[in-house]
Amino acid sequence: MDASNYLYISALLFTIGAVGVVVRRNAIVVFMCIELMLNAANLSFVTFSRINGDLNGQVMAFFTMVVAACEVVVGLAIIVTIYRSRRSASVDDASLLKR
Amino acid sequence: MLQLALEVGQTAKPEAVMFWILGPLAVIAALAMLLVKKAVHSAILMAFVMIILAVFYIAQDAAFLGIVQIVVYTGAVMMLFLFILMLVGVDSSDSLTETIRGLRSLAITAAIGFGGLMISLLGHATLGRSAVGLTAANADGNVQGIAALLFSTYVWPFEVVSALLITAALGAMVLAHHQRSTTRPTQRQLSINRFRGDSLGTAAGLSGPGVYARHNAVDVPALLPDGTPAADSVNATLSARGDMLDYKKFDLSEINTKVEEEK
């Protein structure tokens, strides 16, 4: 087994996450798919860190985690605010600008 | 020497076993996350994928990140997700109907193209190159190695990220702050509204759930004096979740009113 196998898993997870962001309608599930994409990128960072014998990749993954945590906090607050005003967490319902 | 380099580059046998068990599980769980209808199930599957990723990190000599992954993601982030799900309503299942025609097939085609491109690129970029491994970089320990980098090369990004965290916390507080746009109705106002309504049916308040003498659980609607069930006596969340018992069973016309003589 080669270390690059982790990269293939990472690519697969990233693709699945991207499909989820496009296909799913529930804002919370869309958000979880974004988290999946971030995690897949993290797995790539860690694997590249191992392939290169260098800890820089792990530090990058660490920063990604912190930024992802911030993003979750603000994003979920936005979802709660939208839910409060329109009683729905579906991304299709927030379409006031369309009309 | 060449042999040694090859051995370091190849992942060891136990790791291969671990990978081939957990790798497909992670992909299956991620796919299932897309396909399940309820958001809660998606969240559980997501937590599962994240734990597998933590195992992958630890297997790849990134012990610190593996632990952080479990603590931050499965501990904090997923609990936050579940908390928001409870707030928004556990019953908020996604309608899996397409709102934009052809979106799903287009997305799957694009995903196959994108994934195929990534995988073929990775194959070209990394095949035939053996991994160096982190044995040298982790000589003083993984945490010490990351700390040395974090507080020397990356000290400025580290400070910026701390500012970002504080900003995010403030932003969440501002967003979640709820200001009433109308005044809260007083008890007197509520009482007046009850009596000025269309009917006086609920003037004395909504009836509580439960049917006396037959069934008094909270998931069973009360019976009105004429024997019809009062659907609004059951909590709206219970009925939305489909946990309300069928009140047809408790309709008086269904009940055998003939008294059986005891011998």
Tell me the pLDDT of chain A (99 aa) as tens digits: 678 889 999 999 999 999 999 988 888 899 999 999 999 999 999 998 988 888 999 999 999 999 999 999 999 998 888 888 877 777 777 777 776
Whether B111 sits inside 8 A of A29 (CB atoms) is: no
User: Which residue from B70, B122, B94 is spatially nearest to A6, judged by alpha carbons?
Assistant: B122
Q: Are B175 and A74 in contact (CB under 8 A)?
A: yes
Prediction pTM value? 0.76
Under 8 Å between Cβ of B143 and B64: yes
Classify the complex by whether its ipTM is higher than 0.90, answering yes or no. yes
Higher pLDDT, B52 or B256: B52
Is the confidence at residue B112, as pLDDT, over 80? yes
In single-letter form, the type of residue at position A10 comes to: S
Q: What percentage of chain B reaches a pLDDT higher than 70?
A: 80
The pLDDT value recorded for residue A20 is: 92
The reported pLDDT for the residue numbered B1 is 44
For residues B237 and B59, the model is more confident at: B59
| Touching B: A residues 19-38, CB under 8 Å | 19-20, 22-26, 28-29, 31-33, 35-36
DSSP string for B50-76: HHHHHHHHHHTT-HHHHHHIIIIIIII
Tokens, residue A95: 């379409």
Question: What residues contact B115, with CB distance under 8 A and at least 6 apart?
Answer: A11, A12, A15
Q: Check whether B118 has a pLDDT greater than 60.
A: yes
Whether chain B has a CB inside 8 Å of the CB on A42: the answer is yes
pLDDT, residue B32, reads 94
What is the C-alpha to C-alpha distance for residues B126 and A7, in angstroms, rounded to an integer?
A: 9
Q: What is the pLDDT of residue B123?
A: 79
Other residues' Cβ atoms within 10 Å of the Cβ of residue B201: 12
Q: Which of residues 1-20 of A touch B (CB under 8 A)?
A: 1-9, 11-20
Cα distance between residue B49 and residue A20, in whole Å: 15
CA A39 to CA B45: how far, in whole Å? 14
A93 burial type by CB count under 10 A (0-12 exposed, 13-18 middle, 19+ buried): middle
pLDDT score, position B100: 76
B10-29 confidence digits (pLDDT tens): 556 888 889 999 999 999 99
Compute the average pLDDT of residues B122-151.
Answer: 81
Q: B152: how many CB neighbours lie within 10 A of its CB?
A: 8
Residue B187 tokens read as 């008890």
CA B38 to chain centre: 9
CA B22/CA B53 separation, integer angstroms: 9
Q: Which residue reads 């860190």 in tokens?
A: A49
Q: How far apart are the CA of B15 and the nearest CA of chain A, in angstroms?
A: 8
Both tokens assigned to B203: 């003037």
Nearest CB partner across the interface for A89, out of B92, B111, B134: B92
Distance from CA of residue B240 to its chain's centroid?
19
Residue in B with minimal Cα distance to A29: B39
Mean pLDDT in residue range B216-241: 75
**Six-digit token pair at B16?**
């291969």
Tally of CA atoms within 13 A in the half-sphere of B102 that contains its CB: 2
Name the percent of chain B in helix, strand, coil, to the closest 5: 60, 5, 35
Which of B141, B144, B134 shows the shortest CA–CA distance to A53?
A: B134
Which residues numbered 58-97 in A keep a CB inside 8 Å of some CB on B?
Answer: 58-59, 61-63, 65-74, 76-81, 83-84, 88-90, 92
Q: How does the average pLDDT of chain B come out, rounded?
A: 81
